[in-house]
Structure 1
Amino acid sequence: MLALLESSTKQESPGVFKAGNPSKSLANWQGRKAEIADLKQWLNNPNIPLIGIEGIGGTGKSMLAAYIYENVEIGNFRKRFWADVSYGAVFSDVATQVLQDFGFRVPNQETELVPALVKCLQSGEYLLIIDNLESLLKTNGFWGSQFYEEFFTTWVECGGKSKVIVTTRERPELPKRWEWLPLSGLKIEDGIKLLTVLGIQGNLEEFVKLVDGYPLLLQFVADLLKAEYPQDSNLNRLESLGLGNLQQLLTDKKVVGVHRRENVAMVLVLDASWQRLSDFQKSLLQNISVYRGIVNSQAAVAVLPDTAKKKMTTKLFGNDHPTRDIKEELRNLVKRSFLSEKLIDDCRWFEFQPVVLEYVRYKAGNQTAAHQKAINYYRSIAKQSGWQTKDDIKEYLEIFYHFYQLEDYDSAFDAIHHCNDFLTLRGYYANQVELYGQLVSKWAEIGDRQNRKYSDSLNSLGDAYRSLGQYQTVIEYSQRSLKISREIGYALGESNSLTILGLAYQFLGEYERAIE
C-alpha cells in the first residue's frame, strides 16, 4: 500500500502540493453545482472538521471528491493528500505517508501515529481525502480497525485548521460534529450533457430519467454503444444489445419495489455488456478479479488458465502465431468501462470500479484455481532476504490474503509468520494486530482448539498489543493461548504464553504475578 501511495506524489499546481493516488479522470465532468456549493460552505466552516460523501456504488462519490481535490480554487488548502483505503490500507501506512509528504516527523512508535497525524492536521490548512471508507467498517457501521476509529473519533472531537473528506457507502459510528452529503444521480440536464459529450444520440432525456441519472450506468451504456456501433451510437440500438426490456423492468413495481432502480439497471447493463465480451476477455476479467488493488499485465498473465494463455501473443522459432496481446486486451476492457487505467512510473496499471468488481466476482463463482495461481505468482517474485521496508515483504502479505480467501488459515499463518520477526523489529505492530486478529477470529469461530497455530497466533497477537502498550488486552489473549496450549500439551506455546504474560504484568507493576 505504501508503494501505491508513494507512486504518484506530485506537485501539480503552483503553491499547492498534492500527494497520494487519486485515480479518477475528470475529463467528462458534468454538473454537481448544488453539491459543490454545499461542500464549499462546509469546507469554509471552522466548526466542521469532517465531511462525508455517501451513496451507493457508482453514484460518483469518488469523482466528486476528486473534483474538490484537483480544484485549487476550492478552499485554502496548500497541501492535499488522497488515500484510497478500498484494498486494506493499514492506518499506519496511511498516517506515515501523510506525515512524510506533509513534511512532519514520523514517530518511532505506532502508538504515537494517531496524535501525530491529528497534530499535523491541526498545524495548517490541509485537505485529507479518504476514499472508500466503507472498506474499513464491519456491519452496522462499526469499525474494523481500532486505529482508524481512534483517529476519526479524536479528529471529530478536536478538529483543527484542516478538513477531512471521506467517501463511503455507509456511515460509521462517530460523534456528531460532521456533515453528510447524500449523493444521488445527476440532474436530468447534466445527464443529457454527459451522454452528449460521450457521443450518444437518441432520446437522451427519457433515458436519463429512466436510470435516475446514475453516472456509472450512463458511462457504461455509452461505452457499450460506442464499442458496438461506433458510427451510430444511438440509444435506439439498446434493443439489439439485449436491453430492449430496460424500460419495462425499471417501471415494473414488482421489480423496483424490491430493489433499487439504479441497482436493477446497473445489473441489466452489465449483463448486456458482459455478453458482448469475447470468451478470452471474460476469462481475463474473472481471473484478475482475485487480486486486490491495481494489477499490471504480468500479474494478469499469471492468473490466466493455461487454455487462455495459449491465445496470447507469442513468438516461437521466429514465427508469428495468431494471438492476443494481454495489455491490449486490458486496454480494450478500459474502453468498455470494466477497468480503469493509470500510469505509474511508466508502467500501465489496471483496476476495477468497486461495483464492477462485485459483479465480475459474482460471475466468476468459485475462484480457488485463480487464488492458487496468484499465490504462485507472488511466491515467484517475493524478495527472499534483505528486507528494509514493508514494501519488501508486500508479496507475503498478498500470499496471506489469498490463503485467507481460500480458508486455508494454516498456510495464511505460515505466510505472515515467515516475516513476523521483521514486522516486530521494524515496529509494524498494527499490521500484526490486523493479520493475526483475522486468524484468531476465524479459528475461534470454527472452534479449532487443537491447532497449535491458533495458540501461536494468540501469542503473536498478544505480543503485538504488548508493543502497543495495551497490557490488559495482552493478558486476555495470552491467557487464551495458555489455556489452549495446556489442553493440547503444546509445551512451546505454554512457555511463550507465560513469557508474554510475565512481561505484561511487569509493565503493569504487578511484579508478584509476573514472577508467578
Structure 2
Amino acid sequence: MDVQEVLKLADDLVFINTGKHLDNLQEVILRGTLQGQKYSKIADESHCSEGHIKDIASALWKLLSEVLGEEVNKANFRVRLEQVKFSNLWNFNKDIVQIGEVNFCENNSQSPKVPNSSTDEEFLNKGNAKPKVREYLGEMPKSGVLFDRTSELATLKQWILHENTRLLAILGIVGIGKTALAVHLVEQIKHEFDFIIWRSVATSPPLSILQKNIIQFFCRGGAPVPAPNADGVVVPENGATTGGLPLLNYLQKYRCLLILDDVQMVNSSGQLAGNYQPGYEDYGRLFRQVGELSHNSCLVLLSSEKPREIAALEGTNQPIRSLQLNGLGAKAREILREKGLAEHEKWSELIEQYRGNPLWLKIVATMIQDLFDGSLSEFLSDDPLFLGDLESLLHQPFNRLSESEKQVMSWLASETAPVSISKVPENLQLSRSQFLKVMQSLGRRSLIEKIPEGDRTFFTLEPVLKEYVKTNYSRPNIEKEAR
C-alpha cells in the first residue's frame, strides 16, 4: 500500500467511528509517520509545538486502537492498517444508515471510490472454508495467571459449544475471578465464532448507546445484514420479532460470542438485587429475548448480582445457564507460594479465613509481607480479622445494598453460628415476605453462605464479610440511618 492508500483507509476508519474525516493536522501526522519523521520534525513543518503534535497523535492512536480492537501506535501504524486491508477485516463500501437511534450497515449503497460490496458468501469465505473471526476485544483485560479453574472452563465450553447455551451468567463476589475466567474462555473458544465482542458496562451506558456501538463493530467487520422494510424495520429471515432490539438481528444472522462485563452496574443501588435503574429496563428485555429466540450466538454476562431474567429462565435443559464461582479451596496454595509466604502448614487456615478468594488472598499476602515481615503466625494471631485494603474493595458491593439488606447483614454478622430462617428474628422489623425477599436478594449478590444440614439449610456470612459488616454496619448505625 502506498501512502495515499494508507491515509484513505485511516480516513475511512475514523469517519465510520466518529462521523468526521481526518482533519489537516491529523493527516499531516499520519503522513509524517509513514515517511519516518519524528514528532519534532512534524511540529516544525506544521508550525506547532511538539507537545501539541504528541497530544493529537496520542488521541489518534487511541481512536484507531479502539476501532481495530488492538493497539495502534506510531511504530506499528502502517503494519496494522496493511493487515486490515489484506485480511478483509474492513468492508470499505459499508455506509452507515441511521434508523431510529441505531446505526445499521447499508448493503446497497456504495462509494464511488471503492469496489462493489461483498456478499454473505464472501463474508463466510464461500464453500466449506472456516470463516475468519472478527475480534473486538479492546476492553477485554489482558490474560493473566488463572489459578486452577479447569473444571469451570470445561463446564462453560460444554454449555456453549455443545449444548447451544444462548444466555450465560458467570456470577460471584468481587475478586473471585469472573473476568479472569471469561478471558481464558474467550481465548480457548474464539475460533468457533464469526464475531467476538467484549464490552464493559461499568459506566452504565443506556442500552441504545451500547447497542449502537456494538452494531458499528459488526459494520466494521463487513457483516451484511437484511435491508430494512418500507417501515424502516430490519426483519430477521425467520420472521421472528426482536421487539425493537436490532442487535438481535446480528446474533441471529451470525455466530457471535458477546461478553458484557460488570452487568450489575445497570441495576439500581439501594434496592433489592435485580431491579434496573430507571430507563435501563431494556437490558432485561435484551437478556430475555437472547435466551428465548432461536440463534447460534451466546451472550455471556459477568456480574456480582444474578439478573432476574437468568433466575427466572435458567434450567438444566434450558439454553440459559449460570455458573456461580466459589473460592479455590486448596488450589489457592499456589497464590501463597507465588507471593513467597513461608509457614506452609498454616496456609490452609489463611485460605479458609479468606474463603479461597484469589484477589483477597493476593491482597492479604501482600499485607502480611508489608506489615508482619511475612510472618503468617503473627498475622493469624490478630483478633479481629484484619481487612486492610480489602475494606475499600468491599465498599462497592455493600454500598449497593438496600436498608433492609443492611439490617439483615448486621443480624447475620452478630450471630456466632449459622442460623435458620424458619422464622423472622424479633429484632428485625420485617414481615415474613420481606425477610425472605431480602435473603433471596443477598443470595443473588453472593453475600451469604448456605450450609445444608440434613433436610434443613442454615445461613451465615464469610469471616471477611462478617468483619466488614461489624465495622461498617453496626446495628446502632443501621437503626439510626433508618430513622
TM-score, normalised relative to structure 1: 0.44
Q: Which has the larger radius of gyration?
A: 2
TM-score, normalised relative to structure 2: 0.46
Higher relative contact order (CA 8 A, sep 6+): 2
